[in-house]
Amino acid sequence: MVQIKQEFIDEMVAHAKADLPNECCGILAGPDGQVMKAFQMANVEASPFRFAMDPGELGRVDSEAGDNDWELLAIYHSHTGSEAYPSDTDVRIAGGTAGLLPDVRYVLVSLMDMDNPSVRIFQISDGTVTEEPLEVA
């Protein structure tokens, strides 16, 4: 289970709004399932429908996390006009990520209702999407 402080939820929502009209993306990292930092990443796709992280930027995040003995706990990204639920594309991307980060979770931020953004967390394994309780620490 991943524990996320309210400040990081607020940070992800702010990042999602700042990157409109495109999807935002980032990494949540910390020890023992507790998020200690949200790494805002550039969406190199610059698209409102998909995201991709720069491999060099991802390498720097992985290095900083390793220096702090943190795990990469979750990949987050926004949906600009749809619900906070993994799309078919998200599930395919997760399949490609599974070999590198088998225990990573996926956090989705929906801006479908700008006044009430939705944040949800999922495990995606072998094409199966399982929602987990969002534990705000």
pLDDT digits (tens, 9 = 90+) for 20-70: 999 999 999 999 999 999 999 999 999 999 999 999 999 999 999 999 999
Between the alpha carbon of residue 126 and those of residues 20, 34, 52, 121, the distances in Å are 31, 25, 20, 17
Per-residue pLDDT at 96 exceeds 80 = no
The neighbour count for residue 103, using CB atoms within 10 Å, is 13
d(CA 12, CA 110): 10
Whole-number percent of the chain with pLDDT over 90: 81
Average pLDDT for 113-132: 94
Q: How many helices (H) and strands (E) does the chain have?
A: 3, 8
The dotted CATH code for 3-136 is 3.40.140.10
pTM of the predicted model, to two decimals? Answer: 0.93
Indicate the helix (H) or strand (E) that contains 18: helix 6-18
What is the band of 1 on the pLDDT scale with cuts at 50, 70, 90?
confident
Q: Which residues pair with 131 in a beta bridge?
A: 122
How much of the chain is in helix, strand and coil states, percent to nearest 5?
Answer: 25, 35, 40
Residue 103's pLDDT is 82
Residue 99's pLDDT is 62
